[in-house]
Amino acid sequence: MKILVCISNVPDTTSKINFTDGDTKFDSNGVQFVINPNDEFGLTRAMWFKEKQGASVHVATVGGPTTEPTIRKALAIGADEAFRVNAEPTDGFFVAEQLAEVVKNGNYDLVIAGRESIDYNGGMVPGILATLLDMNFVNTCIGLEIDGTNATAMREIDGGKEKLTTSLPLVIGGQKGLVEESDLRIPNMRGIMMARKKALTVIEPINASAATADTKFEKPAAKGAVKLVDNVDDLVNLLHNEAKAI
C-alpha cells in the first residue's frame, strides 16, 4: 500500500501574528512554523500502517524553500520520501490541483490530508483533491482501518460518530482522534540523521490559477473592559439591553 500524507506548513499557535502592506499580507518575520496539527495526526496514523502493514509513506507539501524544515521533520518522524511543489500556496483550489498531480504521478492507494489547516481554516483541500482524482472521500475522519483494498472509517458528525465502509483508492480529511495525542511522535536523533539521507524532491508546479485571492486581514477586536455588578437586577438589565443575550 502506498500512502501520501499532505503536509501544510503553518505558524505555531504560540506565535504572534502580524500583517504588513496595509493588512494585505501575512508577516512571517519571527514566526515559528510547524506541521499542521491535523496533518500530524494523519502522518502518525500512516506510520502505524507502515509499521504494522508494510506500507510505504510519502509526504508532500506546496510551498517555497522555507517549508523544507517542516517537511524534513516529517521525514525524521519516519516518512520514506518527500515532495515539495515549488509554489506559494495561494488558495485551497490551487493547492489541491498541485497535490492531485503528485497523487496521479505516484499512483497512491491512500491519501491522508488534514481536515483543515489551522492558519486559514478553509477546509477545502481534501474534498477538492478527492473530486479532482475521482476517489472515495471521508472527511472529519477520527478512525481508519485498512484490510486489503477495503477501508473502514469512523468520522465525527453532529451529535455523534458515523462508521463507514469503502474501498481504496481513498482520500481522507483527518483530525484529532485519528490517533491519540499521546501517540504523536517527536523525531529522535537517529530519525533526524536518517532524514538527511532521504529524498526530498522539488517539483515545479503545473499551470493552474488560484480561484480566490486575499484582499485584507483583520485581527479580532480587543476585548472590552469588564463590568462588575453587585446585584441580579443590574446583571439582567445588562444582559438584556447591552449584551442582547436574553
- Which pLDDT belongs to residue 210? 83
Every domain of the chain and the residues it spans: 2-216
With cut-offs at 50, 70 and 90, classify the pLDDT of residue 226.
confident
With cut-offs at 50, 70 and 90, classify the pLDDT of residue 15.
confident
CATH 3.40.50.300 fits 2-216, yes or no: no
Each residue's pLDDT tens digit, 92-145 = 999 999 999 999 999 999 999 999 999 888 899 999 999 999 999 999 999 999
Q: Which amino acid is at 197?
A: K
Q: What is the pTM for the complete model shown?
A: 0.87
Half-sphere exposure of 16 (CA within 13 A, CB side): 2
Q: Calculate what percentage of the chain has a pLDDT beyond 70.
A: 100
- Which pLDDT belongs to residue 125? 96
CB 73 within 8 A of CB 191: no
With cut-offs at 50, 70 and 90, classify the pLDDT of residue 220.
confident
- Which pLDDT belongs to residue 73? 96
All three cell numbers of 99? 497535490
Q: Is the pLDDT of residue 47 over 90?
A: yes
